[in-house]
Amino acid sequence: MIRVSVMYPNQGGKFDLDYYMNNHVPLVHKLLDPYGLVRVEVDKGIGTARPGAPAPFVAIAHLVFDSLDRMQEGLKAHDPELAADLANFTDIQPQFQISEILY
């Protein structure tokens, strides 16, 4: 299994969580389910281990795919459409990490 983590740094920019959950995530499913997207998990940053410290990320999305090849094919086909929707919910430049799930 492959995980794509899309991390939105907590830099004081705008992030519309309502739009993200109700519009962007369904768009992700619509476009990427045919390419082996198994599930999407969304984390809302609320803090760190140090009480009162701000979370380093306002939100993190984890997209789990059944294979690296299918994930790459899906993102290649639909990245422009997904990237174009960013302006509808954030002005934060996301960071990405692709990982192999070991356990």
Query: Could you report the per-residue pLDDT of 32-76, keeping only the tens digit for each?
Result: 999 999 999 999 999 999 998 999 999 999 999 999 999 999 999
**Are 4 and 67 spatial neighbours (Cβ–Cβ below 8 Å)?**
no
Per-residue pLDDT at 45: 97
Structure confidence by residue, pLDDT tens digits, 15-30:
999 999 999 999 999 9
d(CA 23, CA 21) in angstroms, rounded, equals 6
- For the entire predicted model, the pTM comes to 0.94
Q: What is the C-alpha separation between 74 and 32, in angstroms, rounded?
A: 6
Q: In sequence order, which residues have a C-beta less than 8 Å from that of residue 56 and are 6 or more positions away?
A: 9, 10, 45, 48
Secondary structure element (H or E) that encloses residue 59, with its range:
strand 57-65
Contact 37, 29 (CB under 8 A): yes
Mean pLDDT, the chain, rounded, equals 97
